[in-house]
């Protein structure tokens, strides 16, 4: 089968960038990204390419090249489903907030809605691709819905999980470590797998395109995120021990990272991991293990989350303790709100939870982030529902300029590792602050010796 038309349901952080790159690299394929969120689609179609809803280095240039040629963004979901040979499902799969599995299991209601809509609309055979991160054996449920509620057409279900790191998503898409495609071992399943392999082979070496059964593909995504998060929690656990013993966690990380069996990646001590995937996927893994009675396996992976939560709490507690055990009505400036640099995504950002702790201590929070709006920051805090909207507005003020945000602050907390922070005139910032001037480097990106020579009382993670 030669693919000429692709539809992606979901114009978010996965669907938008992935489809943009496919469209750029496959000009012979029409790619339509659909979403029921009209504002999101309007933003993707904004004539000012810098206003597209997702910030990723290099993404706006790719969208500008392909949009209107063979890349389209639309709210006409049923039309796109009807015309496409391949339908990617790339909708949100949040952790359940209700019922069985609350707080751990993935909420698959949006996946089921997509499957039912595809079944209702499709009049010809389709390949349906799971792009969202899903628990193992979800494909089985999707296939059951499609086969039993459809119009008699044949569906092949493939699992094609994304392995994107926000902030480097475009690079990850253009030069992936691997592309993973899982499908049935039947002749029809293998034909569907080959069709998707041929799409990616337009720019990815076929040796990097792995094919497996559906279940292995689904579980591989959860496992990859669990292993990466585990490394972060492991080095953060050591950071606390380093602080007590006089060791330097950066030196420890460098020493163990030179071991070829370990390697240096994901060994940066920090205030903790955030983002939409790590916590959600590990909790999902914990739930799956518990559902099969594997309690020891579940306990092992749950500890990764416990350590991450502890690190965020430890950071906010350290700020309070260092500022003479009170931050009431003191101005604490946050540099960074996004969960990592080079993205405007704030989901599960450590900044949200550190701010929440400090507001509970009656602190005044000033925030500067180069890509996150003030409205988004307020929305993140309001979502926690720990206090009134009015109190959040009273306690948190956002700035468009880091120097203004830092003026008259009692302390600065670096919550995102934006490169620009290391280039600031820190003498100017120090001169504008209350003395003593404290700096809490939650991402270990600043030059401690330089800051201390200026006069800052520097507090890094694990140092």
Catalytic residues: 277
Other Cβ atoms closer than 10 A to 27: 14
Q: Are 57 and 64 in contact (CB under 8 A)?
A: no
What DSSP element (H or E) covers 79? helix 77-83
Give CA–CA dist 442/294, Å, rounded.
35
Other Cβ atoms closer than 10 A to 149: 12
Angstrom distances, CA of residue 81 to CA of 28, 114, 117, 236: 18, 10, 9, 45
Query: Longest Cα pair distance anywhere in the chain, in angstroms?
Result: 74
Q: What is the DSSP string of 348-378?
A: T-HHHHHHHHHHHTT-EEEEE-SS--HHHHH
**Residues with Cβ < 8 Å from 303, sequence gap 6 or more?**
233
Q: Could you give the count of Cα atoms lying within 13 Å of 135 in the half-sphere of its Cβ?
A: 22
**Residues with Cβ < 8 Å from 257, sequence gap 6 or more?**
263, 264, 265, 267
The token pair that represents 210 in the structure block:
């792995």
SS3 258: coil
SS3 452: helix
Q: Could you give the count of Cα atoms lying within 13 Å of 286 in the half-sphere of its Cβ?
A: 20
Q: Are 435 and 403 in contact (CB under 8 A)?
A: no
Q: Are 407 and 375 in contact (CB under 8 A)?
A: no
């Amino acid at each position: 089968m030669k693919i000429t038309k692709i539809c992606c349901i979901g114009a978010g952080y996965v669907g938008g960038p992935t489809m943009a790159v496919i469209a750029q690299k496959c000009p012979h394929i029409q790619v339509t990204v659909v979403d029921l969120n009209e504002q999101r689609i309007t933003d993707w179609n904004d004539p000012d390419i810098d206003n597209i809803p997702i910030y990723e280095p290099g993404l706006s240039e790719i969208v500008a090249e392909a949009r209107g040629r063979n890349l389209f963004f639309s709210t006409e979901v049923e039309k796109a489903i009807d015309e496409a040979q391949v339908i990617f499902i790339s909708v949100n799969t949040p952790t359940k907030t209700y019922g069985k599995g609350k707080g751990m299991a993935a909420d698959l209601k949006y996946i089921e809605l997509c499957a039912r809509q595809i079944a209702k609309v499709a009049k010809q055979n389709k390949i349906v691709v799971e792009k969202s991160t899903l628990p193992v054996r979800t494909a089985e449920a999707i296939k059951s819905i499609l086969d039993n509620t459809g119009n008699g057409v044949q569906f092949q279900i493939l699992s094609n999980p994304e392995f994107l790191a926000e902030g480097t998503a475009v690079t990850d898409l253009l030069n992936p470590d691997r592309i993973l495609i899982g499908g049935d071992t039947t002749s029809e399943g293998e034909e569907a797998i080959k069709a998707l392999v041929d799409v990616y082979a337009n720019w990815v070496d076929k040796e990097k395109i792995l094919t497996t059964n559906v279940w292995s593909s689904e579980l591989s995504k959860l496992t990859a995120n669990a292993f990466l998060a585990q490394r972060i929690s492991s080095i953060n656990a050591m950071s606390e021990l380093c602080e007590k013993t006089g060791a330097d966690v950066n030196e420890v990380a460098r020493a163990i990272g030179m071991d070829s069996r370990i390697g240096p990646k994901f060994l940066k001590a920090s205030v903790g991991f955030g983002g939409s995937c790590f916590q959600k996927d590990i909790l999902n893994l914990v739930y799956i293990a518990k559902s099969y009675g594997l309690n020891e396996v579940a306990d092992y992976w749950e500890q990764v989350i416990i350590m991450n939560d502890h690190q965020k709490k430890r950071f906010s507690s350290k700020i309070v303790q260092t500022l003479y055990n009170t931050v009431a009505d003191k101005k604490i400036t946050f540099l960074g709100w996004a969960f990592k640099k080079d993205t405007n995504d704030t989901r599960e950002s450590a900044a949200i939870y550190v701010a929440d702790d400090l507001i509970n201590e009656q602190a005044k929070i000033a925030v500067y982030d180069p890509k996150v709006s003030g409205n988004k920051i307020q929305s993140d805090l309001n979502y926690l529902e720990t206090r009134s909207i009015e109190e959040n507005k009273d306690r948190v003020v956002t700035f468009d300029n880091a120097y203004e945000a830092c003026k008259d602050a009692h302390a600065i907390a670096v919550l995102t590792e934006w490169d620009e922070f290391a280039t600031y005139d820190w003498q100017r910032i120090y001169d504008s602050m209350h003395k003593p001037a404290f700096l809490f480097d939650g991402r270990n990106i600043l030059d401690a010796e330089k800051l201390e020579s200026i006069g800052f009382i520097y507090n890094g993670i694990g140092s």
